[in-house]
Every structure is written in structure tokens, then in C-alpha cells.
Structure 1
Amino acid sequence: MTLAMLGQLMATGLAGALGALSRYLLGRFISARAATALPLGTLVINLSGAFAIGLLFALAQEHVISTMVQSVLATGFLGGYTTFSTMSWEGVELLRDGSGWLGLLYLVGSLLLGLLAAAGGLAVGRWL
């Protein structure tokens, strides 16, 4: 392993830890202020992460940032920040708790809005 590879590995790990901490803090912040059965914290986190990953990929394609920076931020920070597993669990919990339509709306809406957010990030990144 080269020194550059080791540096990228360490940067990705640190970025992942920072992403996970950001997800935790933002999720708690939103949950404390939103009085709804819908898991808004996870939804906001996943949609902002989808937008950000689209933006990062566009910026790397346009050579605004290096592919190494894109990799560290996308795999590391956004990998730690976003959470498909929590979204899935929260959707299943809504379904199990008798909120079938809300659970389906949350799961399908998260996926569709996430795709739109990623496409929006790509568009903004190409526009910049």
C-alpha cells in the first residue's frame, strides 16, 4: 500500500465518522422539533445526501474537484451521513404500527425524492 493510498483510506474513514456524527446530531435536532409520525430527520438526511452525492459526481466529472476528493466525500462522509437501513427500518415500523399508508408513502417517497435529489445535484453541479 502506498502512502497516498493510506492517506486516502484514513481520510475516508475520518470523513465517514464525521458523516455519522452529522447524521446523528441532525437527526436528533429535527426529531426534537418535528411532531409527526413521519421520520423527517432521516428523510431530510437522505435527501440532502442524495443531492450532495449528485453534486459531487458532477463536480468530479467537470474536473472541479479531483476524483480522490469525490471518493473521500461520497464514500466516506456521505456513506456515514446517509442511511438506507434506518429508512427501511422506520418504514417497516410504520407499517407494523398500523400506519400502512404513511409507511408506504415514506418508503416510496424517500426513493423517488432521493432519485430526484441526486438528479438535481447532478444538474446543479454541471451548471456550476
Structure 2
Amino acid sequence: MWKNPMFRTIVAIALGAIAGALSRYYVCLGVSQIFSSEMPLGTTIVNISGCLAMGFLTTLFLGKIISIDPDFRLLLLTGFLGSYTTFSTYELDSAKLLHQGSLEPELFYWMGSVVFGLLSLQLGIFVAKWLLNRWQGDRSI
């Protein structure tokens, strides 16, 4: 079973994701208990620290500065950091586009992610409320 590369990939990403999600939760919880703020300071700290870690680790691992097992790299970068914060992946993708030298795709990706992400969030809220209202209306009949 461990000799199967697909199985190792799944396990590596899953284990990293568990650790990343728990880390995100406890960092946000800890920050909210220490600082009282209307701003989502915990999420901000997670996003910034995730970007720092993504930049640092991808430079070391993908730049061949440090040789690391591909499964462990998946555990750290895709599993842990992907679960800890998707913002770090977003910023890494933005940097890749920027380094390709074409500003137009970078701006479209950057603005499109923000604008369409916010619009999609609002649409999700609208649809959920609409469905709840329909369901509650049907229940009362």
C-alpha cells in the first residue's frame, strides 16, 4: 500500500491538511482571546504568516536549495499551507504570473479573484437565505 505513489500522495496531503486546519483554528482562537478587535486579526495573521511560509518554503524546496522528499513537500505545501490558508496559494500563483512578465493576466487574476470571490460569497448567502425561506414556508403549510 505504501509503495503506491497515489496512496502516499493522498495520505501526505490529508495529514498536512489536518495539521493546517487545526493550526488555523487555534491561531485564530488564540489571537481573538488575546486581542479584542472588530477586524478579523486572527485571519489576517494566518494569511500573512502563511504567505511568509509559502514564499520561504517554495524558495528552498522548489529552487533545489534543499532536497526534500516529494511526499513531504506535498504534506507541507499543499496539505498544511493549503489548509492553513488558501491565501498563500493565491499569492504564490499571483507571483508566478507576475514573474512571467505579463501584467494583464496578473491583474485579471488578482482583481477577478477578489471581485468574483466577493460576488460568489454574496450569491451563496442569497441562495441559502432563499432556500431557507422556501423551506420554512413549505414547513408551515
TM class by shorter chain equals 0.5 to 0.7
Instruction: Note if contact 1:15-1:77 (Cα within 8 Å) is conserved in structure 2.
Output: yes
Aligned to 1:95: none
1:55 Cα deviation from its structure 2 partner: 1.1
Partner of 1:59: 60
1:43 aligns to what? 44
In structure 2, distance between residues paired with 1:67 and 1:56: 13
Which of 77, 80, 84 is 1:74 aligned to?
77
Q: Give CA deviations for 1:60-110 in whole Å, capped at 9, x if unaligned.
A: 1332043623222111001111155xxxxxxxxxxxxxxxxxxxxxxxxxx
The answer to whether the 8 A contact 1:57-1:70 is kept is no
Change (3 A) 1:65 1:53: farther
What are the equivalent positions in structure 2 for 1:1-128 lying under 5 Å apart?
A: 3-63=4-64, 64-66=66-68, 68=70, 69-84=72-87
Give every structure 1 segment of 4 or more consecutive aligned residues whose post-TM-superposition deviation is greater than 4 Å: none
TM-score, structure 2 normalization: 0.54
The alpha carbon displacement at 1:8 in A equals 2.1
The amino acid of 2:51's aligned partner reads A
- Aligned length, in residue pairs: 89
Q: In structure 1, what is the Cα distance between the partners aligned to 2:38 and 2:86?
A: 18
- After TM superposition, give the deviation of residue 4 of structure 1 in Å: 2.5
- Runs of 5+ in structure 2 lacking a partner? 96-141
Would the alpha carbon gap of residues 24 and 54 (structure 1) be closer, same or farther in structure 2, given more than 3 Å must change? same
% identity of equivalent residues: 38
SS in 2 for 1:15: helix
Q: Which moved more, 1:67-76 or 1:5-14?
A: 67-76
**How far has the Cα of 1:11 moved from its partner?**
1.3
Gaps spanning 5+ residues in structure 1: where?
85-113, 120-128
User: Which structure's relative contact order is higher, taking Cα pairs within 8 Å and 6+ residues apart?
Assistant: 1
